[in-house]
Amino acid sequence: MGTGIELVSELIERTNDLRRAFRDNNFRPDSLKKDTRRYSMKDAVKLVGRSHQAIRDAEGDGRLEPPEIGESGRRLGFTLKQINTMRDVFGTRRRRSDGDEPIVIAIQNFKGGVAKSTITTHLGEYLAQEGYRVLLIDCDSQASSTSTFGYLPDDEIDEEDTLLPFLRDEEESLHYAIRETYWDGLSIIPSNLHLYQAEYSLAADVTPDTFSMLHEGIQSVAEDFDIILLDPPPALGMISLNVIYAANALLIPMPPSMYDFSSTISFLTMLYETMEVLEDKVGKIDYKFVKLLISRFDENKSGQVTLVDLIQSEFGNVVLSSKLRESAEIVTAGNLQRTVYELDKANTKVRRRCLNILDAVNSEIELLIRKSWPSHAKALKERGLI
């Protein structure tokens, strides 16, 4: 190995080899990531909103296909696709109505490592599992979300597959970049390192339209989705400016440490200044909600509990009441290129606790989304949920 540029080049090659070996090992035998989860009848009753008997009756009269039978002769459980078919058969899918605007949530903070991608991928899978049509757009050239979905971003994703052609004004709509994932109801627009070039191409000829390109792209495909999630890079650049303008809701993850808190204050200041410029040059920005989400909370670390209490009393209901705790399960899942929802459901206590925490955070966000849809808000009010 050399000592200068040759050394760096060698390191890149070896890291890429390692990444491929790691991915191939995680998704043997064919390197393809699949959803192998199966839902029990109890899960199905909860997710579909119909009784055990109603589901069995629908299987009996041919409206539903029964689940696969395993070698032991027992039913293997339902796939997410089958759960969604049940929702269609019973008319219980939770979706926006035609008069409800698709929600576009940016999970944004310019600080790195605050769990933006972790939150985006878990929220995306949770919402799709609840039956919504979800599009996750990886706006970060580091491509963390893209690799969570099983891709090697720099080998298997071409720059033509990312946002780049649209941001270079070479495409009329974003349809070309949308791909379905193994997780029924969840589509993604992937990213890779080349997306970084958009920072230069957008900066080359700045007009007011430069900042609304992603917004336009999203509008070109929004009709097909209920919820669009944006996973941005950890910096203020042209892509992040586009994200801020394209979103109609903002979720700001913030670990409760003094450094992260200070960075979040800087983020809010930069956000304010950015919004002032965008409103002046492009148009009004009106978010349906802006929420802080305490992430990576470790109550055993000194000072974190005190800081969380202070944040909650100062910010009131701008902070989500559920917090994403630091969890070994999230680290384990990340090391396996999975989300915690994708791990074996072997019901260890630790895993169940982590799933409960994730569900609490995600269901609180789901409620905010539904509140933003007039047709859902009415039903939620009638049921005393808001």
Chain contacts with ligand ATP (rule: CB under 6 A): 112-118, 140, 142, 144, 234, 295-296, 324-327, 330-331, 334
Q: Count how many residues are written for the chain.
A: 386
Of residues 114 and 278, the one with the C-beta less far from Mg ion = 114
Closest distance to ligand ATP from the beta carbon of 278 (Å): 22
Closest distance to ligand ATP from the beta carbon of 136 (Å): 13
Of residues 116 and 370, the one with the C-beta less far from Mg ion = 116
Of residues 144 and 220, the one with the C-beta less far from Mg ion = 144
Closest distance to ligand ATP from the beta carbon of 196 (Å): 13
The 3-state secondary structure of 266-292 reads HHHHHHHHHHHHHHHHCCCCCCCCEEE
Of residues 216 and 326, the one with the C-beta less far from ligand ATP = 326
With a CB cutoff of 8 Å and minimum separation 6, the contacts of 222 are 102, 104, 228
Round to whole Å and give the CA distance between 48 and 294: 31
Of residues 159 and 326, the one with the C-beta less far from ligand ATP = 326
Residue 197's binding partner among ligand ATP, Mg ion, none (Cβ under 5 to 8 angstroms by kind) is: none
Closest distance to ligand ATP from the beta carbon of 52 (Å): 35
Residue 118's binding partner among ligand ATP, Mg ion, none (Cβ under 5 to 8 angstroms by kind) is: ligand ATP
Residue 327's binding partner among ligand ATP, Mg ion, none (Cβ under 5 to 8 angstroms by kind) is: ligand ATP
Q: Which residue is nearest to Mg ion (CB)?
A: 117
* Helix 304-315, helix 258-281: angle, nearest 10: 30
Closest distance to Mg ion from the beta carbon of 112 (Å): 8
Contacts 24+ apart (CB under 8 A), 314-320: 318/290, 318/291, 318/292, 319/291, 319/292, 319/293, 319/294, 320/291, 320/292, 320/293, 320/294, 320/361, 320/364, 320/365
Query: Which residues make up the interface to Mg ion (CB under 5 A)?
Result: 116-117, 144
In the sheet where 290-294 sits, what is the strand order?
A: 179-180, 186-189, 134-138, 227-231, 103-107, 249-254, 290-294
Token digits of residue 353: 């606790």
Round to whole Å and give the CA distance between 266 and 271: 8
Closest C-alpha to 130, from 43, 255, 212: 43
Residue 326's binding partner among ligand ATP, Mg ion, none (Cβ under 5 to 8 angstroms by kind) is: ligand ATP
Closest distance to ligand ATP from the beta carbon of 318 (Å): 20
Closest distance to ligand ATP from the beta carbon of 351 (Å): 13
Residue 242 CB-half CA count within 13 A: 30
